[in-house]
Structure 1
Amino acid sequence: MKRNIYLETVPISEALSTVQARLDRTALVKTEMVPTHEALGRVTARPVYADLSSPTYHSAAMDGIAVLAEDTFSAREDAPLSLSPDKFTPVNTGNALPDGVNAVIMIENVLMQDDGTARIEAPAFPWQHVRRIGEDIVATELLIPSNHELSAYDIGALLSAGIWELSVYEKLKAVIIPTGDEVLDFRDRPTPKPGQVVESNTQVFSALASKWGIEVIRHEPVPDRPEALTEALKNALLSDAHIVVMGAGSSAGAKDYTRSVLSELGEVLVHGIKAMPGKPSLLGIASEEFGSKLMVGAPGYPVSAVICFEELLAPLAAWMSRKVLPARPQVDVTMTRSMPSKLGMEEFLRVSIGRVGDSYVATPLSRGAGMITTMTKAQGICRIPANSEGINQGQTLPASLLVPRESLEQTLVVVGSHDNTVDLLADALMGRDTPIHLASTHVGSMGGLMAVKNGACHMAGTHLFDPDTNDYNAPFISKYLPDADVVLINLAIRHQGLIVAASNPKNIQGVTDLVRDDVQFINRQRGAGTRILLDWHLSQNDIVPSQVKGYDKEEFTHMAVAVNVLSGAADCGLGIMAAAKALNLGFVPLARERYDLLIPRQHLSDPRVQAVLETIRTDAFKERIQSLGGYETDLTGQEMQPGMGLPE
């Protein structure tokens, strides 16, 4: 089977209109009768007219007495009227009105006499406190129009009007087929080997589809063999599903057969959209013998697949089922740093959002299409238009929220150096009676200082060592934030060193070993305090970076460095002892250092910051830090002053 190369990408809007113009939703999505009480979320296929009026009788709208209004017209405050028992009837709210009466006087305005008469001081007017026949619904009137998505309130109205069943459009059904030789079925709880991945995209789609009212059937993973893929697609198209999604194989690799398979059983209308991530997405229509159903080729990378699901499949499914796709709430956010973007491609940028001062600030997260955790960490998505070359630091633009807007008020924005204790803090804050979400962005210690300077965070993690003063952080604050009113609170003293493979098979003992030809190093990103510490140790040993094999290979967290060592991608990397311990790796101690939280003084009274200080000063939290290994808590929670350095 011929390999496919996609060359003509189209904007998302054009992709949608192309499919809508060719897909016959009337023929594809049939109608059915369903019981009214089971019709929540369904869409009416025909207008619904009331069979019954509501109420079906004149009824009392208040507790009191039912009267003929004309019998009360003479009542005055200075000339009360006494009604004989034959002139009124006691009623409760909802009671049918007796014959011959047309008003209700509230019981609060009635004084019952010992002789059985009812004394009133004001007249009633006709139909006072009465729900008349058909006041809410009149039999034969239009109750619900066609193409209306039924709410809980609609169900109540329909039943009140005597509608026991109604015609609605079928509930959409979709089959999703995961593909790939490297894909492992998550139901087997596998342990992946190099080159293998646990299949999860089907479950992301299933969860999203449940919100869209789509019933999903998951096919077992299919290997990259054209005949097997064709057979799986054919069986899915012969089912009662309206949509068939093939996961992965939509790009241009040697084993990307999705386009060929879809073309064999139908017509591909779109292959490639002007969007990042999500570019390889496929849309097509099955041939008539397979019901002219919608076929979708979703990219294999998780974030790309999500874009395909949310930006293509969701609006098409809403259109097919005659539903209105709810728009996500939006807020205007100020970007904390510049991000270039490819001209001609619309980019969906995941961002971390929090309210800092009077503004919402957004920090871009990693762009990798395979990094599903950026979706779990993101509070929103910003769209960079196709005609833009990127966004600038300080620029304000709308962000579509992935979380309730109210949760942003409980989000603590932390920018700077990564440390495992920050993860502990995030968990502890969520365990409070009023949970606080810690949104952390790892841009290195210098990046954290700049975020504080630009008012882009509540606090920054920093561990910058100044060899000239033998002090931490304060000299850098004086240099880069000379006018800033800030405080330094210690989170922990941590042990840095070389993370090596278990049992240290290459016998790496210090930075001098980094120049060996058989040692592959993994570095931290520019601006990271760990990298600055490395550079200082290299200079102390008269080593230039070009002598270190792998110096230019960067990671953004200590755990990422440790994973590189665990996988064999590197022989060693500089990081914290806790990261080595977490993955059962070896550790060669190099230095102790102070990891502090830099906090603008204006935020000290913020309840979110107060919660941090309360938490880290507890014995229980200090014990959790110590349990990680490679930490000391002698200074934890204390305010640091210039010149304090590091205790012996």
Structure 2
Amino acid sequence: MSLLPLNDALARWREALDAAGALRRLPAETIPVAQAHGRVTAAAVWARISSPHYHAVAMDGYAVRSAMTEGATEAGPVRLRLGRDALYVNTGDALPEGFDAVIPQEETRVEEGWLEVTHPVRAWRHIRIIGEDMVSTELVVPAHQRLRPQDLGAIAGSGHNAVRVFRQPRIAILPLGQHLAPPSPHVEPGQIIEFNSMVLAAMAREWGAVANPFPPQDGDLDALIQQVRAALDDHDLVALNAGAAGGARDYAERIIRALGEVVVRGVALRPGHAVILGHARGKPIIAIPGFPVSAMTAFERIVRPLLADWLGQPEEHPPRLQALLPQTIVSDPDMDEFKRVIVAHTYRGAVARPLPQAAGAIMTIVRADGVIHIPRGQDGVPADSYVQVALLRSPESIAHTIIHIGSHDLALDILADQLRRAHPDRSLNSLGVGSLEGLQALARGEAHLAGVHLLDPATGAYNIPAVRVHLPHLPVVVMRFVQRAQGLILPRGNPKNLHTLADLTRP
């Protein structure tokens, strides 16, 4: 498979989509304001009424004519007749005709039908005048704005009960392949739990789409073509998950060719190079890899910008953090590579450490704090370089995370759960790589603590000799955490009567 550079692939695909009429803005629809959170306006919203649309009382108290309070002092208060010169009002009431100020209730003294005023009151005190917030015909929100909660309030407050928005993109996600099973603890060897469609659908919904994950598709080629044709009828984009690598039962390319045109076959993207981009019946259709991390990477780089265009939105970028990279990263100069990393705030500042890059290991995305992009044409990143990390978690949550690297134990997972229960703003992220690598990670400033169980053959002592060798200049504390018992796991009942390691040598 010849791989096209990522930017070239996207440009070629978008040119073909434009020619096929698939890059047009989505049609608009009118929906209730109360249901419009997160939607994108298709037209500007102009205030139909002012807010407030009357002179509104802003405090509980008494409406008065300010001119009648001139000269009032503590020693010589002005007395106003209740019901004639002073009227009791509540917050939100319309200001009575002929009155121009409100004295808060706590600043007054009432005696036998008279209100005593001890200070002059300026005109329009504690009054919200007409149009103080919005004036009729004022622009409330422009077109192409993603609506936030405060926007909904402003639209409703300006006299609208409905708003014109772009229709949400409809995305169909069809997982292809044999032996795909629904999530369950009861799966047979060779069966693969299918969860990619769930993950991709959730991503698309975060970007403002309506996503429809289909059940796993495992028919013959003709049946699959019919299923994809039906999906194209009801959706704006169809994503085939798996089937693009070119194996005997990788039908994605043949499906797309049967229904439309293949524009790009293979993208220089890692993870996620097994990608096919095309269109059919005036709509985009893509095939992305079956490995979870590859699927997520390809989906984000390819589908997210397209959805933003359809909705008239700029492509959103995650917050970034500059971090030190103590280790050299090797990269293929022919690829755009996206490396998952964890970030620790240690004595060296913000420090990034690459996670295992297996395309099928979704836990590397679960544990990742962010992603480093190594552009095509670059063969890696030298040690002790500073890199930009596109964050998958907030900077605050990363700063409040304890990073453990080293020998793993189930007790660490229990501790991580208990820590989050007791302190919801704190996390423990544990990466099991072995004792020696844990000490080296601590020395490089990549972690806050390292799990070790290293025996020194010369002295018979555990851990202390290794710490002195690998961390000679780093002030550390060694804590006893868990004690392990090693042994043999045997079938129930111990049918071979094994009791010691020596018993394993018996014929």
Shift of 1:475: 2.3
State the superposition RMSD in angstroms: 3.1
Aligned twin of 1:110: 108
The one-character-per-residue Cα deviations of 1:393-423 (angstroms, maximum 9, x if unpaired) are 3322122222232222332211122334433
Deviates more, 1:67-76 or 1:467-476: 67-76
Amino acid in the other structure paired with 1:396: Y
Aligned partner letter, 1:202: S
* Matching residue's letter, 2:217: V
What's the counterpart of residue 262 of structure 1? 256
Which residue does the alignment assign to 2:286? 296
Amino acid at match of 1:81: V
**Distance in 2, Cα, partners of 1:505 & 1:331:** 58
Give 1:83-102 correspondences, 5 Å limit: 83-85=80-82, 86-102=84-100
Cα distance in 2 for partners of 1:250, 1:501 equals 43
Q: Given the alignment of the two structures, is residue 387 of structure 1 paired with residue 377 of structure 2, yes or no?
A: yes
- The answer as to 2:202 corresponding to 1:207 is yes
- 1:193 aligned partner, one-letter code: P
- The one-letter amino acid of 2:399's match is E
Give the match's secondary structure for 2:30: strand
Q: Which whole-Å CA distance do the structure 2 matches of 1:435 and 1:56 have between them?
A: 44
Counterpart of 1:9?
4
Contact 1:352 1:380 in 2 (8 A): yes
Counterpart pick for 1:131 among 128, 131, 141:
128
> Which residue in the other structure is 2:189 paired with?
193
* Structure 1 residue 368, shift from structure 2 partner: 0.8
SS in 1 for 2:422: coil
In the superposition, relative to structure 1, how do residues 65 and 430 fare at CA in structure 2: closer, same or farther (>3 Å)?
A: closer
- Report the secondary structure of 1:463's partner residue: coil
8 Å Cα contact 1:192-1:198 kept in structure 2:
no
1:42 pairs with one of 39, 43, 51:
39
Kept in 1, the 8 Å contact 2:184–2:193? The answer is no
Alignment of 1:349 with 2:347, yes or no, is no
Instruction: Measure, in 1, the Cα distance between the counterparts of 2:427 and 2:143.
Output: 43
Shift of 1:369: 0.6
1:328-347 correspondence runs (5 A): 328-347=318-337
**Structure 2 CA distance for partners of 1:506 and 1:257, relative to 1, 3 Å:** farther
Q: Deviations over 1:314-339 (max 9, x none)?
A: 22112212345543222222234322
Q: Conserved in 1, the CA contact under 8 Å of 2:22 and 2:284? A: no
Distance in 2, matches of 1:213 and 1:331, equals 26
C-alpha deviations, 1:347-405, integer Å up to 9, x for none?
21111223224622222111111111111122222222223222233322122222232
1:476 counterpart letter in structure 2: A
Partner of 1:176: 173
> TM-score if structure 2 supplies the norm length?
0.89
Aligned to 2:148: 151
User: How many angstroms apart in 2 are the aligned matches of 1:149 and 1:482?
Assistant: 55
- Select the structure with the greater relative contact order (CA < 8 A; seq sep ≥ 6): 2
Does structure 1 retain, via aligned residues, the 8 Å contact 2:200–2:299? yes
* Residues 1:428 and 1:119: Cα distance change in structure 2 (over 3 Å): closer
Unaligned runs of 5+ in 1: 1-5, 513-586, 590-648
More displaced 10-residue stretch of structure 1: 501-510 or 95-104: 501-510
Q: Partners of 2:261 and 2:493 in 1: how far apart?
A: 57
1:315 aligned residue? 305
Structure 2 match to 1:122: 120
- Verify the 8 A CA contact 2:405 2:449 in the aligned structure 1: yes
Correspondence list, 1:442-591, <5 A: 442-496=432-486
Task: Give yes or no for contact 1:16–1:316 (8 Å, CA) kept in 2.
Answer: no
User: Alignment partner of 1:285: what SS?
Assistant: strand
Q: Count residues in correspondence.
A: 501
1:144-192: CA deviations, max 9, x gaps?
222122222222222222212232211221111110123x230677513
TM-score of the superposed pair, with normalisation by structure 1? 0.71
Question: Paired residue for 1:630?
Answer: none
Q: Secondary structure at the match of 1:460?
A: coil
**Identity, % of aligned pairs?**
34
- Secondary structure of the structure 2 residue equivalent to 1:274: strand
Residues of 1 paired with 2:318 and 2:69: CA distance?
A: 57
Q: Whole-Å Cα distance in 1 between the matches of residues 284 and 390 of structure 2?
A: 28
Report SS of the residue matched to 1:354. strand
Q: Name the residue aligned to 2:224.
A: 229
Task: Report the CA distance between 1:82 and its aligned residue.
Answer: 3.0
CA distance in 2, matches of 1:91, 1:322: 47
Separation in structure 2 between the aligned mates of residue 404 and residue 391 of structure 1, nearest angstrom: 24
**Change beyond 3 A, Cα 1:424–1:230:** same
Partners of 2:500 and 2:273 in 1: how far apart?
45
Q: Distance in 2 between matches of 1:117 and 1:498?
A: 92
Aligned residue number for residue 137 of structure 2: 140
Give 1:49 shift: 2.2
